[in-house]
Amino acid sequence: MRRLLLKHRNRVLIIGLLLALLYAALAVKLWQEQIRQGAVHQRQISRQSIRRIRIPAPRGKILTSDLHVMADNAPSYDVYLYFEEMRQPRGRSHTITYIENALLRIDAIFDRSRRITAPDLKRHMNTRPGLPFKVADDITPRQMAKIFELAETVKGLGIIPGSKRIYPAGDVGAQVIGYTRPEDPRQAGDRQEYFYYLPDLQGVSGIEKQFDTLPFSDNTVRGLKGYPGFSLVQVDRLGFVYKTLIDEIKPLSGNNVVLTLDWRAQRIAAELLKHLRGAFVLLDADTGAVLALVSAPAFDLQQFSPRITAEAYRKLLFAPGKPLFNRALLGEYTPGSIIKPLVALALLKHGVKPDETVDCDGKTVIGKTASIRCASWRHGGHGRTDLRQALERSCNDYFIEQGMKLKMENLRTVFASAGLGAPTGIGLPERRGQLPARETKKRRTGFRWNQCDTAFLCIGQGYILVTPLQMAVYAAALANGGTLYRPYLLQEIRSPEGIVLYRTAPQINGQLAAAAENLEIVKAGMHLVVNGPEGSGKLAKNPLIDLSGKTGTAELNVQGKRRLNTWFIGFGKSGKTNYAAAILVEDGVSGGRTCAPLIREFFLRYLKRKK
């Protein structure tokens, strides 16, 4: 019996010793976790409960060279719900019911049908419970008063001031300025830096997109888009905010973009093309600065702020005249007779004498059956015509008969030197047009290039396409003695305080393939176009600027119907500025009767104040 008791006592002692060791290990572990590692765990807990909220930066302004505002920011008051203040004691379903009832009362203020559903609310609670939930934006003062009244009985309802993009110029320069929309947080480069992401506005088209950030900058100079700020908040276990740690680190505003556009030139040109389909480009011929760039019809940019509806965008997309389409940069057109000054340069380059004449009888017969008429065919032709007179009268006979002495490649070389068939480098989306090529015809028709193709090419028809911007650049090269400047829209970048941070310098794209004396001969012929007794563009003549120019009428067949695209290109100096212009009007009568009067009216109105 005694031996049995001793045996049990030993077992009890062993068990007790094991328990003591276990408790000792537990005590050591608790000491390690609570005392030794306590500070580390506290920091980890703190990190898990602290949320970094991104604050978007105000966007920079867009201004013309004379500081007329084209894009700006304006206060916008938005209605939000704060879910953490709307929680109900009996669970999430009761909270959602409470919020839905509040939304019914809010919808009644805006006189709208229900737009926000229970799944929308649940999705926000699951993904961004710490952020207020937007229910309406850019409310009117009357709506604001009613919301304040409702907020007295609905807890968690509030108004947050923000900003929206405004476009004071409306539809003037719409395709150039472009528009914005809120950035998609899922695509944002800094998405991982923030727990809650309030996005910036980002440029979608035009200048708004091109200078969102600066492509030539090493990030030392901001574009229209600024640098975001942030705030730090602490949240509870469900993710709802209960304490603000850092109220706000203020964002840095974007910089202002000053364009080369002249507001008066842009506005006058837009008014002249108001009820037409076409484009107008005005350049400083000595620098390439774009003074006006118009595409018609246009659209009101304010429709895109704060956000255009899908229905409104669809209407714009399929509206008559395609107002979203920038004809000045993206339109590819047959040039017609405005190509003749380049053909004249090619003729002079290859030995044709300027005083050598062609007898124009009103048509040119090519081969046995084909013939191409001159505009003078009803009157029996222009008679004996030299190069300068051929430009003045826009004589098809002269350019076809002389041009067929050259190879197509001779013409193509001069066309290419004028920038045809290549992007101008303006920075905005643009088409390159089309240079004539033997393989183009072969690929499209299966037939080889022939004399008839060269004949049509000499009068700007056939396998050649140009943009209005290219034609303005080429006119500028004629005006300045042969230098092909890269057109540019950015004059300078300024800080919000007005300090100039960057200024664009003119850049040269190339040189016309023409001797100086040949350029003078062609320019003399173009002066006669506007100022000569038989000038095809004499309706452009005006007392405020001595213009030289060239008219063009390009015939095309669209679904069996004959249509005419009409042109005028020209240049002239007024004061210190050497102007070069190109205007296109679709479905016009002729370059001389449709476009030349528009150029006259433009310079009369634009230069009147300057004179």
Measured CA to CA, the distance from residue 286 to residue 300 in angstroms comes to 33
Q: How many residues does the chain have?
A: 611
The confidence score (pLDDT) of residue 45 equals: 45
Q: Is the N-terminal amide bond of 297 cis, ω within 30° of 0? A: yes
DSSP string, 313-348: HHHHHTSTT-TTS-HHHH--B--GGGGHHHHHHHHH
The confidence score (pLDDT) of residue 51 equals: 76
Q: Taking 70 as the threshold, does the pLDDT of residue 262 lie above it?
A: yes
Going by pLDDT thresholds of 50, 70 and 90, the confidence category of residue 47 is very low
Find tokens 């949240």 and name the residue: 235
Q: Taking 50 as the threshold, does the pLDDT of residue 41 lie above it?
A: no
In tens, the pLDDT along 420-456 reads: 999 999 999 999 999 999 999 999 999 999 999 999 9
Looking only at Cα atoms, what is the longest distance across the chain? 150
Q: Taking 90 as the threshold, does the pLDDT of residue 136 lie above it?
A: no
Lowest mean pLDDT among 18-22, 301-305, 527-531: 18-22
Using the 8-state DSSP alphabet, how is residue 128 labeled? -
Task: Using DSSP, state whether 272 is helix, strand or coil.
Answer: helix
Strands (DSSP E) found in 405-499: 483-485, 490-494
Q: Taking 70 as the threshold, does the pLDDT of residue 239 lie above it?
A: no
The confidence score (pLDDT) of residue 367 equals: 78
pTM for the model stands at: 0.86
Q: Is 110 in contact with 200 (CB distance < 8 Å)? A: no
The share of the chain scoring above pLDDT 70, in percent, equals 91
Lowest mean pLDDT among 111-120, 159-168, 199-208, 372-381: 111-120
In tens, the pLDDT along 137-148 reads: 888 889 899 988
Lowest mean pLDDT among 269-278, 455-464, 549-558: 549-558
In tens, the pLDDT along 102-132 reads: 888 888 888 877 778 888 888 888 777 667 7
Q: Is the N-terminal amide bond of 132 cis, ω within 30° of 0? A: no
Query: Radius of gyration over alpha carbons of the chain, in Å?
Result: 36
Q: Facing residues of 577 across strands? A: 574
Q: Taking 70 as the threshold, does the pLDDT of residue 544 lie above it?
A: yes
The confidence score (pLDDT) of residue 129 equals: 64
The confidence score (pLDDT) of residue 34 equals: 67
Measured CA to CA, the distance from residue 576 to residue 572 in angstroms comes to 11
Using the 8-state DSSP alphabet, how is residue 465 labeled? B
The confidence score (pLDDT) of residue 610 equals: 63
The confidence score (pLDDT) of residue 44 equals: 44
Greater pLDDT, 453 or 28: 453
Going by pLDDT thresholds of 50, 70 and 90, the confidence category of residue 193 is confident
Closest CA to 553 of 422, 313, 374: 374
The 10 Å Cβ neighbour count of residue 390 is 27
Find tokens 């004071």 and name the residue: 168
The confidence score (pLDDT) of residue 46 equals: 45
Q: Which two tokens stand for residue 467?
A: 């943009």
